Each structure stands twice: as structure tokens, then as C-alpha cells.
Structure 1
Amino acid sequence: MRKLLFLDRDGCLIEEPADEQVDSYAKFALLPGVIPALRRCVAAGYELVMVSNQDGLGTPAFPEEAFAGPQRLLLRILASQGVVFREILIDRSLPQEGRDTRKPGTGMLRHWLADDGWSRAASAVVGDRETDMQLAANLGVRGLRIGAQGLDWPAIAHLLCDAPRIAEVERSTRETRVRVRVDLDDAAEPRVATGIGYFDHMLAQLGKHADFALELHCAGDLHVDEHHTVEDCALALGEALRRALGDKRGIGRYGFSPEDLPVRETRPAQSGCTLPMDEALASAAIDLCGRSCFAFAGAFPRERVGELPTELVPHFFRSLCDALGANLHLAVRGDNAHHMVEACFKAVARALRPALRRDGDALPSTKGTL
């Protein structure tokens, strides 16, 4: 289905002056990055519709000819770069008139509301004001705010054209409150706070070495023990990863390496990503198949590393698999519990990296679904 991009003008395509009226060439200035961003959107199949409030246009306070020159210049510049509008909709009313044609009203867009030939889910409104975001809600599409209180044009083009795999999950129980945000197509530094220092360090390893942006914050009943915090963080993170993956088209699905280094006699069926940390050696193999399965081989030489009970390490990964829908084989050997636990998290992260990576649009399954 067709996808539409409804664009505000002043403050969105061109800079808005202090008097909020572009009525001379001296006030005309394109927003930074707007041309390459719109070229990307056009190439991605978006049809462009300009929707702008121009207060009192055609009155002595805002003569038609004062508006027309800068408007023609804008359209000519954009057209020279292959950016052409399907439709230009201008409301001339003043706020006190209360007309439904004035944003966020949809009076100018009734024909689009009556048209079922375009996708609401794939379309968007881009503007710099709250009225633009209200217009988006009234149209049933997402709103992207540009400017000091929002995004810049490169970021908007990324959201519209790269289909970034982003998800946010909030999990609240009587025992914990967990908030997780992941972006599988960004490698920002992890930001983690759970109240368990060593656990924070391990979760940061997942984001860092799996190469995705991770924000996770948890307020848990640590006065009871660490179990609820660790388990609920795993469940929330797994759910966020599952949502971000969507229908899983184009992903690698599997994460393993061809080496067959033994971890112990009862090693996993697949050698997976084998990773050393000093004397410790961990091996992980993962399949993002939609089915939960976890197999663990290993024994930690002490009960705790920092404030993290080592018995909760395999429980964390089991809970992660349950929420993510993943098949994970993990094994570890060594003498130092700190090294062993960290090797586990890093090995799983390095196995996740190729499994999460997107290359094309094919679904990696003969079943037609994952």
C-alpha cells in the first residue's frame, strides 16, 4: 500500500523566523539536512503532502505575493533534487476563527481520510509543534517532531527509511519495576542500573558485545534477595528483543562459529561462539526460532560474584530464552567464578550478534514464520 508523509513547512522544511512569518527572501533558509533526508524518503517510496497553517495569508498583514515568492523558491529547490509534493494544502485562517481546516483539524485532509488506498501504519506526520503531533493522532499515523524539542532530519530519515528495530518494555509487579529499551540497529553505549553492581556490568556486556543499544533500569525488592530482580530483568529484556525483531525477516537467526573447541565432556550440541577469559572458556550457540529451550553445562566454584548469586546466571539465561523465544546452548569451565560468569555473558552476546544482524528481507525459515 502507498505510504504518505504529511509535512509541515515553517520550522520543518524551512526555518521559522521570530515573527513566525516567512514573507521575504531574506527570511528564507532551509533546515539543515532536509534535502538529503527527503531524497531518502522519496527513494523509499513516500509520497509527500505539505500541510501548513499560514495565519491570515492574503490579508494586508500577510500579502499573498509576500508568501508566494519564498514558497516558489522552496518548491523549485526541492524539485531540482527530485523532491516533489503530491499535494500542497495551506490553511489561511486565524486561530480565533476555529476552523476545522486549521491544524490539528483534519478539514483539509478529508479526502485522505476517506481514501483506503494508503497505509496508516507506514505513514507519518513530521512537524515542529504539538499541533502537528495532534494532527498525526487525528489521522491515525505516527508523529515525528523536529527541532529543539525533537529530532533532526537525519534521525527522522533513519526512523522512516531504515525501519530501525526499536522496542520499549515496562514490566511492573509487586516485586520489581523494570524499564527496558533496545535498538538493534544502534551501537550506543549500554546504560544499566539494577541495584546489583556486578549484574549491571554483565548486562552491559550483552549490549556491548551483541552490538545493540540497551537501556535497562530496575527497582527491585533487593531487601528480600536478588532473585526477582535478575529474573524480571531477563524477562523484560527478552520481551524487548522479541518485539524489536518483529517478524524476523532478514535476520541471521543463528549465532555460532565453526570452531569445535571442547568446553567439557558434556558440551552443547553446537560449539557456538567459543570465548575465553583468562583460564575460563565459555561456548554459546543460539537460534532465534521462536521456541524456548535452554541447555546449560557448568559449575561455578563459589556461590556469589559481588552481589550476584552464581545460581542465578543460568536462571537469567533460561528466563531470557522464555521471553525471547530462543534456543540457547551454553557451557562454561574455569577456576575463577568472576571470569566464568563474564565469559558466559560475553559468549552469549557474541552469539547474538550474527543472529540479530539484518541482511535483506528473506525470512530464514521454510515454515514461513518464526
Structure 2
Amino acid sequence: MKNVLFIDRDGTLIKEPEDNQIDAFEKLEFYPEVFTYLKKIATELDYELVLVTNQDGLGTVSHPEEHFWPVHNFMIKCFENEGIVFADEHIDRTFADDNAPTRKPRTGLLTSYFSDDYDLKNSFVIGDRLTDVELAKNLGAKGIYINDQTFLGTNEVSSTKEALAPYIGLETNTWSEIYEFLKLSNRSGNISRKTNETDISIALNLDGTGKSNIDTGLAFFDHMLDQIARHGQMDLDIKVSGDLEVDEHHTIEDTAIALGTLFNKTLGNKLGIERYGFCLPMDDCLAQVAIDFGGRNWLVWEAEFKREYIGKMPTEMFMHFFKSFTDGAKCNLNIQANGTNEHHKIEAIFKAFAKSIKMAVKRDVHKMILPSTKGML
């Protein structure tokens, strides 16, 4: 399935004049840095570029075609000369007060993209109007809103922006930020795993802010999983319905398997990641967790517990959780911990685990290479 960038023209690729019509060469001025970063997007990222623009009344006396096409075609040729090729151009000619289905934010021009050939959920609409964000909403995509007041022809209503906020993936006024956002995006995902023993749903955003919503039916286990989100600075939603009337084993094991599998899926091609990652003190305890997202599963566990339970979580399941995670995530884990307080010991392990993940999954947008001499992970 193809990912698409639906890109507005005026105010996005080129600056928009006061009369909203670029019908003469002297009016043509390209948006700052658009060639530099759109070329990087076109050559480095896997998006199909599609131009979508409203040209009110194109072909009428007020907007004659003979004035429009020479400038437009010159603009397209300039992009092509830089290796930036639009797979298609969709131009609506209706007037601003026309409710035609082809006019943005309606999707009449873009019905061919509602097919199994395109992944609209992971596609974006880039534009300088909130109608572009609304188009993204109608497509089931996300909006990249170029909010540069210098080039806005009208003042847009704040209430409309607030209503569309969930569909704005990025608000910016520079193409460099658009490039970085797209290059570092798509490290989120979800997984569902249902067996006769557990029913699990997990959503993960590796580049989140530490938000979590966790309910496994085991309060102490929830507390430990929350450490992963908070200290790893990732967003994590986990909902588990397990056979706790039997015991805690299946709930903990299956959660770890699903979470590890989702990590492996969400890391994707692993380009640019640090790969390795933490030594963390907590009162009387010292926990060391080293991780390698290298594609192979292995666990070294050097931690002993003198209590059978902490909360309602069996201490024998601690090692089993991390072993199941390595199986799903295809990573190496080396865990060591010592101390006298058992609660502190396992909490320090989970915090160090979170910090090691944060370190290992960090990416450098300017060094998107695979951290391996083998050529694959």
C-alpha cells in the first residue's frame, strides 16, 4: 500500500499573492526551502506526491487559462528539474461559494485513492488552510498545517482550528520541520492478541511524551508498565482481560509477548536508531539494564527476590516477563540488580529498562543509517 502526500499549491509550494491568483511570472515566488526539503522527501522517503489545489473559476473571464497554465507548467518543470515529480495533479475550478463535491475539503477529486492500493491512514495533506486539514480528516489522513500568517489571505476562525486539532499532525511554517516530521514519523502502532486465556489490546507511540493508560487487572503490574511509558517517554495504552481467576501467569506472559511484538513492528527498518541502550540507582538498589534491538532474542537475568509476591504480582514472573518481551521484540536484554528492598529492586529494573529503550530507539534524522555491519537487523 502506498503512502501519499497530498500537497496544496498556493501558500505551500509557492507564495500566495494578495489577489490569490498567480497568473503572471512576476507573481511567482517559491516558498522558502521548498526545493531543498521536498527533494529530500521525494528521494529519501516512500511517499507518492500528489498536487491538490483549488483554482477558483479557472477558465472564466476572471481567471483565464492562458494566464494560468504557462506559470503553472513552469513551476512544475522547476520541481521536475530538481527530481521532484508529482504522480498526479488535481485542480478544482469551481468558485469558493460552490458546494461542488470536487472542491477541497471535499474529496470528489480524490476518489481513486479510496482503495486497497493506498494507505490513507499513514498519508498526509500539506497545506496553508484549515480546509486542507479538513480534507485530511475527510480522507482519513493527517494534516500538516503551514500556519504562516505572512501568506494567509484570510483570518481563520480559532474555533474551527480547535475542532480540527486532532487531525493536525504538525503545525509549522518551515519545510525543514515538515521533512524532519515525516522522516521521523510512523513509529506508532497497535496490536490485538486474543486467546482462550487473555484478550489484549496495546497501542504504542515510540516518540510520545510519556502518557499511559494501563489496565491489566493487576495494580502492581500496571504500576511497572507505567514506568516504561513515563521514563521511556513513549505513549502506551494497554488493556488486558485475563484469566486472573486461575492465576496471574497468562496475563503477564501474554502482555509481554504482545508488547515485545509491537516494539519490533513499530521500530520498522531501524534506520538511524542508536540500537543499544542504563544503569539506575533507587535508594538501596542499583539496577543495570542493557538492551540491543539487533533482531535476536536473548535474556541474561541476574536478580533475586526474597518475597513471593510484590502486590499481587508473583516475583517469579519478573524474569518471565522480560524473557517473553525479548522473544516478541527480538532483542537482547542483560539485566542485573541488587539491593535490600524488593519493591525498590523491581521498580529500579523497570525504570532502567525504560531508560535503555529510550536510549536505544533514539534517532538522528541526519544520520539515517543502519547501525550494523551486516547490512540488516
- TM-score bracket for this pair, using the shorter chain length: 0.5 to 0.7
Q: Distance in 1 between matches of 2:316 and 2:64?
A: 70
The alpha carbon displacement at 1:224 in A equals: 2.0
Provide the residue aligned with 2:260 in structure 1: 238
What is the alpha-carbon root mean square deviation over aligned residues? 4.4
Provide the residue aligned with 1:334 in structure 2: 339
The structure-2 alpha-carbon separation of the partners of 1:106 and 1:326, relative to structure 1 and needing over 3 Å to count, comes to: closer
| Structure 1 segment 14-33 matched on structure 2, within 5 A | none
The structure-2 alpha-carbon separation of the partners of 1:227 and 1:125, relative to structure 1 and needing over 3 Å to count, comes to: same
Q: Distance in 2 between matches of 1:307 and 1:37?
A: 57
User: Are residue 206 (structure 1) and residue 202 (structure 2) matched?
Assistant: no
The alpha carbon displacement at 1:194 in A equals: 1.5
TM-score by length of 2: 0.65
Q: Which runs of 5+ in 2 are unaligned?
A: 13-17, 21-30, 43-47, 126-131, 145-160
Q: Which of 42, 47, 52 does residue 38 from structure 2 map onto?
A: 42
Name the aligned partner's letter for residue 249 of structure 2.
H
The structure-2 alpha-carbon separation of the partners of 1:49 and 1:324, relative to structure 1 and needing over 3 Å to count, comes to: closer
User: Are residue 356 (structure 1) and residue 361 (structure 2) matched?
Assistant: yes
Q: Distance in 2 between matches of 1:153 and 1:131?
A: 12
Q: Distance in 1 between matches of 2:133 and 2:355?
A: 40
Provide the residue aligned with 1:16 in structure 2: none
The alpha carbon displacement at 1:313 in A equals: 0.7
User: Are residue 218 (structure 1) and residue 240 (structure 2) matched?
Assistant: yes
The structure-2 alpha-carbon separation of the partners of 1:192 and 1:296, relative to structure 1 and needing over 3 Å to count, comes to: same
The alpha carbon displacement at 1:366 in A equals: 1.5
- Residues 301 and 335 in structure 1, CA contact (< 8 A), matched pair in contact too: no
Q: Distance in 1 between matches of 2:336 and 2:318?
A: 12
Provide the residue aligned with 2:193 in structure 1: 171
TM-score by length of 1: 0.66
SS at match of 2:291: strand
- Residues 104 and 132 in structure 1, CA contact (< 8 A), matched pair in contact too: no
The structure-2 alpha-carbon separation of the partners of 1:131 and 1:248, relative to structure 1 and needing over 3 Å to count, comes to: closer
| Structure 1 segment 129-148 matched on structure 2, within 5 A | 143-144=141-142, 148=164
Name the aligned partner's letter for residue 241 of structure 1.
F
- Paired residues, number: 303
- Residues 170 and 181 in structure 2, CA contact (< 8 A), matched pair in contact too: no
Q: Which of 359, 368, 373 does residue 366 from structure 1 map onto?
A: 373
Provide the residue aligned with 2:149 in structure 1: none
Provide the residue aligned with 1:306 in structure 2: 311
Q: Which runs of 5+ in 1 are unaligned?
A: 14-23, 27-34, 108-112, 114-118, 137-142, 256-272
The alpha carbon displacement at 1:231 in A equals: 1.0
Q: Distance in 2 between matches of 1:184 and 1:36?
A: 31
| Structure 1 segment 97-116 matched on structure 2, within 5 A | 102-106=108-112
Q: Which of 150, 165, 189 does residue 167 from structure 2 map onto?
A: 150
Q: Distance in 2 between matches of 1:321 and 1:154?
A: 37
The structure-2 alpha-carbon separation of the partners of 1:366 and 1:161, relative to structure 1 and needing over 3 Å to count, comes to: closer
**Identity fraction in percent:** 35
The alpha carbon displacement at 1:297 in A equals: 1.7
Provide the residue aligned with 1:180 in structure 2: 202
The alpha carbon displacement at 1:152 in A equals: 4.9
